[in-house]
Amino acid sequence: QTVVTQEPSLTVSPGGTVTLTCAPTTGAVTGGSYPNWFQQKPGHAPRPLIYRSTNKHPWTPARFSGSLLGGQAALTLSGVRPEDEAEYYCLLFHGGVWVFGGGTKLTVL
């Protein structure tokens, strides 16, 4: 089964910008991968942020943006705030099934 890779951990300063990436071990991310991004804080259900690569949900803060970058899906946070500290998961439609990435633990320090 396909494995989807994310950075295990990243650290960013408040007010800074950080990009999280997501890619399958085989093949590239395309529009047909329909990337979704989720934020999860301890003890809570995942919170959807981005769908179909670049689209925001009505509740998604403007500082979050999604893109396709060199065969990977990317989530960029600009003007990071302390409350953005969380685990972030990507989800790709790959080989006819959904596959989650392993998650990125984002620390704001």
β-pair partners for 41: none
Residues binding other proteins: number (CB under 8 A)? 23
Rounded alpha-carbon distances, angstroms, from residue 54 to 13, 22, 76, 92, 101 = 24, 14, 11, 13, 17
Q: Is 85 in the site for other proteins (CB under 8 A)?
A: no
Q: Which residue of 10, 12, 68, 99 would you call a contact of other proteins, by CB under 8 A?
A: 99
| 102 in contact with other proteins (CB under 8 A) | yes
Query: Site residues for other proteins, window 8-27 (CB under 8 A)?
Result: none
Contact 72, 22 (CB under 8 A): yes
Contacts (Cβ under 8 Å, ≥6 apart) of 86: 39, 40, 41, 106
Among 12, 46, 56, 68, binds other proteins (CB under 8 A): 46
Question: How many Å apart are CA 7 and CA 10, to the nearest integer?
Answer: 7
Min CB(51)–other proteins separation in Å: 4
Q: Which residues make up the interface to other proteins (CB under 8 A)?
A: 1, 34, 36, 38, 40, 45-48, 51-52, 57, 89, 91, 93, 96-103
